[in-house]
Every structure is written in C-alpha cells, then in structure tokens.
Amino acid sequence: MDFHLNDEQKALQEAARRFAQNELRPLARELEEKDEPVPHDWLARYGALGFLGVNTAEKYGGLGLGPLEALLVLEEFARISVAVAFPVFECNVGPVRVVERFGSPALKERVVPKVVRGEMLVAISMSEPEAGSALTDLRTAARIEGDSIVIDGAKRWCSGAGHSEAYVVFCRLSESTGAKGIGAVFVEKGTPGFSFGAREQLMGFRGVPSADMFFDHVRVPRDNLLVPAGGFADLMGVFNLERCGNATMSLGLAASALADVVDYVQERKQFGKPIVDFQASQIRLAEMMMRVEASRLLIHRAAARAVDGLPGLMDASLAKCFANEMVREVSAAAMQLMGGYGYAKAYGMEQRVRDGFGWGIAGGSIDIQKVNIASALVGRRFDQRR
C-alpha cells in the first residue's frame, strides 16, 4: 500500500495549486460579493489548462487520467472557494460523467469536448418538491413519442440552474413504481417549454446558482435519452464519484481553514505571547489536523479502489459523511480560534463555515450516507416506508 503520489500526480497537483493560489483569489472575492458564477472567459482558461477534463477520455480532449487525479485538482480549487471550484466539480465528477458513460456516440461527441474546453456546463437535476432523500418518489415524467422525448414536471434545488447550458434530468420513464421506472434525459437550456424559477437565496454557496426548473411539454430528440427506465442503479453508481467530489469540496474548505488558522495563532498575541503557546490552542489544532488528514485518506482510498473510474457505495458514503461532518467542525473551530477576526467577513473564515454546512445537505444528506453505510455493513437495504 503506497500513500505517495507519483510524479505525474504531483505535477498536476502543483499546476492546479499554482493557478488557484496565484490567479483565483480576486475572482473568488468578486463572486462572493456579487453572488455570481464563474464567467465564461474564466471557464475557457480552466479548459485550456486541462482542469475541466482531468478524467475525461483523451478522444474527447481530456487528459485521460483517473478519479484520484480529478479529486487532487478539485481540492486545490476548493481551497480558494466553492464558487471557483464548482465548474471543476461539475466537469470532472458531476453529470458529465453520466453523458460520457451512457450517452449515444453522437451526443457524447457533441457535448463532452465542449465541456472540456469550457464552452458548456452541464448540471444535474434530481430533487423535486416531494422527492429529495426519497428520490425514487420523483414525479417528473418523460415519454417517448416517435423520434422525440416529451418531459413534464418540476425540479428543485438544482445547482447551476439557469446558468448551465445543459442538464442531466432524472425522470420517470415508465409506469413502474419506485426505482424501476427512473432513467435520465439530457436537456439543453433554451428548449421550448423549459424554464427556471427565481434564484434561491442560500446561507452559503454564493456564486453557485440554484433554482426550480419547470418542464411544460419539453420536447427533445430521442437521442438525448441517457439512461432508460430501470437504470436508476447505473445512475447512482456514477453518482458515487460525485459523492467523492462533494467530500473533496469539504476537504478543500477545511484544509484552507486549518492553514489560515495555523498562521493566525502564531501571529496573534494575547497575555504577552502568541496564542499558539496556550495548550488549549495546541489541542484544538491537533484535533483539526487529525480530522483533515483522516478525511483525505478516506477520499483517496475511495478513488484508489474505484472500479472503471467509479468508487463503491460504501467507500463513497464513508468519505462523504466523514468529510461533511469534519468541515463543519474544523471551520467552526478555526473561526473560534480567530475570535472576532473569524466572525468578520473580511477574513474569509465565516464564509467557510457557511459553505461547509452546505455540503452535508447537497448530494445526499449526512444521515442518508449513514443509512447507506449501515446498509452496506449488514448486507441489506432498509425500507424507509415501513
């Protein structure tokens, strides 16, 4: 068992770190202040440097690397902010993987290279007003009519809604109940009948748009079918990689919080000496470091044990659950150590606290991950309806 990165991984990590640290801090502040997503000219820069196609096949313009390399890049961006990292998240571990894995050859050729170049963002649309954790209760329906697919329904809590150019939409594609009727369809912004609600005002995640989505007889080509009815398990298998990306966003926030507070406690003096000299500070720093490193190990293990680029459910759920709880603890502890400076917007720590709480809600809540873990542990699924 080797815990060292190879030379190629180190070079990629360092390239991402240099770009993020040297180029993205002013952009991150602007996105936080204005609550705007990464502009398209910046996406083109991301794409030109290879950061939007780390684990995309070379034939589509990607680097052709694995999930660990994608997560290494994502962590470096997440250290700066959720907003600047979100395109990297969507393009490397998000819904584009569904398109590349299940889309028709023509659809993949049309969509994936654009994503890699930063010309198109693809968001995932899963949740509905009555289907969040109980995702198999979703009602948005799609029916095949000749050479078309017609979609009716509504979606909620779609990160990227209104800004992204295209969406992987989970739909009910047959009359079968539960997971058996669910598949996914690719829908592009601007399709007649496809509209968006008002943008949500969230506690954190500024710079990541979220809104309701409405489908009123939305007609797309039949070639836009990604996964037919009965393919819910395939969709969620790909989603395990997104869970690891979610965990990595948490990790990046926590790692940067730890780095900043380590500098702060060595500079800040009270009672005539740096506050790092107080044992209470030392213990808190050690606890934060243990949690950050444990989280990174769980994420990297999930990536290292991935089969065909996809982590397993148990590994992904462990990584996500631990990281989601960890970032809340670490960012809050860092804010407490910094006192008034931690609570002030000018110093960025309170932003990490707000953003950190979001990842334990997005992509499957912390408690749902614990149900997944228990299910895998005992070898059977639990029916929450009984």
pLDDT digits (tens, 9 = 90+) for 64-76: 999 999 999 999 9
- What would be the CATH architecture of the domain defined by 123-229? Beta Barrel (2.40)
The whole-number pLDDT of residue 254 equals 98
Query: How do residues 130-141 score in pLDDT, each as one tens digit?
Result: 877 878 889 999
Work out the pLDDT band at 166, boundaries 50, 70, 90. Answer: very high
Mean pLDDT across the chain: 95
Question: If you average pLDDT over residues 15-19, what whole number do you get?
Answer: 98
**Model pLDDT, residue 179:** 86
DSSP string, 169-214: EEEE-SS--GGGGEEEEEEETT-TTEEEEEEP--SS-TTS-EEEEE
Q: Is the pLDDT of residue 256 over 80?
A: yes
User: What average pLDDT score do residues 208-230 get?
Assistant: 96
Contacts of 360 (CB under 8 A, 6+ apart): 250, 324, 325, 327, 328, 366
Q: What is the mean pLDDT of residues 244-271?
A: 98
Q: What is the pLDDT of residues 88-125, one digit of tens each?
A: 999 999 999 999 999 999 999 999 999 999 999 999 99
Q: Which amino acid is at 342?
A: G
CATH 1.20.140.10 location in the chain = 233-378
pTM (2 decimals)?
0.95
Predicted local distance difference test score (pLDDT) of residue 132: 77
> Where do the CATH 1.10.540.10 domains begin and end in the chain?
7-120
pLDDT single digits (tens) 293-340: 999 999 999 999 999 999 999 999 999 999 999 999 999 999 999 999
7-120 has which CATH code? 1.10.540.10
CATH superfamily of 233-378: Butyryl-CoA Dehydrogenase, subunit A, domain 3 (1.20.140.10)
Residues 80, 86 contacting (CB under 8 angstroms): no
Going from the C-alpha of 338 to that of each of 81, 239, 257, the distances in angstroms are: 19, 37, 11
Q: What is the mean pLDDT of residues 353-380?
A: 93
Whether residue 386 has pLDDT greater than 80: no
Task: Please report the pLDDT score of residue 58 as a whole number.
Answer: 97
Give the per-residue pLDDT at 384. Answer: 73
Q: Tell me the mean pLDDT in the region 337-363.
A: 96
Q: Could you give the percent of the chain with pLDDT greater than 90?
A: 91
The residues, ordered by sequence, that sit 6+ positions from 221 with a Cβ below 8 Å of its Cβ are 147, 148, 149
Residue 168: the pLDDT is: 97
The ranges of the chain annotated as CATH 2.40.110.10 are 123-229
